[in-house]
Structure 1
Amino acid sequence: MALSKEQIAQRIAKEVKDGYYVNLGIGIPTLVANYVRDDIAVEFQSENGVLGMGPFPWEGEEDPDLINAGKQTITTLAGASFFDSSLSFGMIRGQHVDLTILGAMEVAQNGDIANWKIPEKMVKGMGGAMDLVSSAENIIVAMMHTNRAGESKLLESCSLPLTGVGCVKKIVTNLAVIEITDKGFLVLERAPGISVKEIEAATAGTLIIPNEVPEMTFS
C-alpha cells in the first residue's frame, strides 16, 4: 500500500542522526519533527530565524507568534533561540546545517530539483530554497511519486524551472526510498505491499533495481 504523507515523514526521520542541525522545507518535510527518536538530540532550524523547533502544537495550543518559514504554527524546545533572517541564512550559507529535507514538484535522475514554480501560475518567490540547495551537502526530498494526473515526478530531466542542480542525494516517496547515483535512480527500499513493477511503472527516469529490494521499516 502506498504511504501516507505522515508515513513518508516517519521514514525520513530515520535519516536524522544525533547531533544534527536540520532544516525542514514546507509541506511533508515539516512533519518529520513529529517522528524523530526521543533518545537523540536534534536541532531543527527554520530560515525565518528559529533554532530549536519542536513538533507541531496540538489543536487549541497554537501560539500565533511562533511560526516556521511556511507560516505554520510550531512549538519550541527548551533552549530554543530566535534571530533575524540574515543570521539564519548565514547558518545556511556557512554550511552549518547537516541535513535539509525539502518537498519537490520534480526530481531528475542526476539530482536536479524543481520545487518552486509552475509556469503561468502566481508564486510569491523561491524563498530560502535556492540558498538551501546551493549550500547543503545532504538533501533528502519528500514527495509523492506521481502528480495528480498520475504522471511521474521522477524524471530523466526536469521540465519545470530548476531550484538547484545535482544537489539531491535521496528521495522518499509514497512508493519507495531512492538514492541518486551517476547511473540513475537506485531503489533502496519499497513501501510495504508495493511491488518493484509498480515503482517501475511510476518512474519516468532511469531506474536501477537490485536483485533484492526490502520493504521499508519505520523504526
Structure 2
Amino acid sequence: MSTRISRDDLAARIAADIPEGSYVNLGIGAPTLVANFLPAGQEIILHTENGLLGMGEAPAAGLVDPDLINAGKQPVTALHGAAYFHHADSFAMMRGGHLDVCVLGAFQVAQNGDLANWSTGAPGAIPAIGGAMDLAIGAKNVYVMTDLLTRDGVSKLVERCTYPLTGAACVTRVYTDHAIFDVTERGFAVREAFGDNTTASLAALTGLDLTEPRPTETEPEHR
C-alpha cells in the first residue's frame, strides 16, 4: 500500500473540510488545486488578493479570459455575482479578519503553529513575500498544504522553524501527502494517516513526538 497520496487527492481532501459559506483564499502553487474540488452545490466564496471575490475553477481549454487571473497569474473563472476591486481593498479584507480560511504552502511548520513559507534564507534565493504574511495573521483558520518531506527527505514539520517566519503561531492544520496534522497545545496531532502510515511511522519520519487528537480537538474553531 502506498504511503503517499497525490496532490489532486490532497486538494480534494482539503476542499471537503471547508465549511459551506466560508470566504477562502487559496495561496499560490498547489493550494490553487483546491478550487477544482469544492463540493458542487455548496456556496464557498473564493478570494484572490489581486482583487476578485467569487473566483471559480480553472477555465476549460479555449475559454481563457486573459483579464481573469489569480494572484499566481493563472487563468481563472468568475462565478455569477463575482466582484472586482482595488488591490488595497483586497488586502484590507485579508488583514481585517474577513476570511474564514486560507490555504498556503510551506517550507516549514513548527509544532506551535509558526509558519515559514516566503524564504529559505539561502544566499541568492529570491524571496516570495506576496500576501502570505497578511493571510497568515488575518485569516481565521490557516490550512497548510505541502509535502511532508523535502526532496532531500527532511521533514517540513519541525520543533522550531529555522527559516524566516511568515507568521507566528498561526497554523490551524497541516495537510501533507502522508497525513493530516492538527496544531494543538501539545504539538502536532495526527488527525488522519494515509495509506500504511501510522502515528509511530510518522513520528520516525518527522523526529517529533506526535499524538492523536482529543475529543475536544476534533475540529478547528471556525469563527
What is the TM-score when the length of structure 1 is the normalising length?
A: 0.91
Q: Check conservation: 1:113, 1:168, Cα contact below 8 A.
A: yes
Residues 68/138 of structure 1: CA separation in 2 closer, same or farther (3 Å cut): same
- Could you say which residue in structure 1 is the equivalent of 2:206? 203
Alignment of 1:31-50 (within 5 A): 31-50=33-52
**Alignment partner of 1:157 is 2:164:** no
Q: Check conservation: 2:182, 2:188, Cα contact below 8 A.
A: yes
- Could you say which residue in structure 1 is the equivalent of 2:59? 57
**Which residue identity is paired with 1:33?**
A
What is the Cα deviation at residue 123 of structure 1? Answer: 2.2
What is the Cα deviation at residue 121 of structure 1? Answer: 3.7
**Which residue identity is paired with 1:63?**
D
Alignment of 1:1-219 (within 5 A): 1=2, 2-119=4-121, 120-123=123-126, 125-209=128-212
Aligned-residue CA RMSD (Å): 1.6
**Which residue identity is paired with 2:107?**
M
**Which residue identity is paired with 2:42?**
I
Partner Cα separation in structure 2 for residue 101 and residue 30 of structure 1: 8
Give structure 2 stretches of 5+ with no counterpart: 215-223
Per-residue CA deviations over 1:19-68 (Å, capped at 9, x if unaligned) read 11001101121011111111210110000101111111223322222111
Partner Cα separation in structure 1 for residue 148 and residue 198 of structure 2: 14
What is the Cα deviation at residue 210 of structure 1? Answer: 6.5
What is the TM-score when the length of structure 2 is the normalising length?
A: 0.90
Q: Check conservation: 2:114, 2:171, Cα contact below 8 A.
A: yes
Give structure 1 stretches of 5+ with no counterpart: 212-219
Provide the aligned length of Structure 1 versus Structure 2.
211
Q: Check conservation: 2:110, 2:158, Cα contact below 8 A.
A: yes
Q: Check conservation: 1:45, 1:52, Cα contact below 8 A.
A: yes
**Which residue identity is paired with 1:15?**
D
Partner Cα separation in structure 2 for residue 56 and residue 66 of structure 1: 10
Moved more, 188-197 or 155-164: 188-197
Partner Cα separation in structure 2 for residue 96 and residue 22 of structure 1: 9
- Could you say which residue in structure 2 is the equivalent of 1:215? none
Please state whether the residue corresponding to 2:188 is helix, strand or coil: strand
Partner Cα separation in structure 1 for residue 6 and residue 204 of structure 2: 19
Partner Cα separation in structure 2 for residue 197 and residue 206 of structure 1: 9
Q: Percent of aligned positions with the same letter in both sequences?
A: 45
What is the Cα deviation at residue 204 of structure 1? Answer: 3.0
Residues 210/165 of structure 1: CA separation in 2 closer, same or farther (3 Å cut): closer
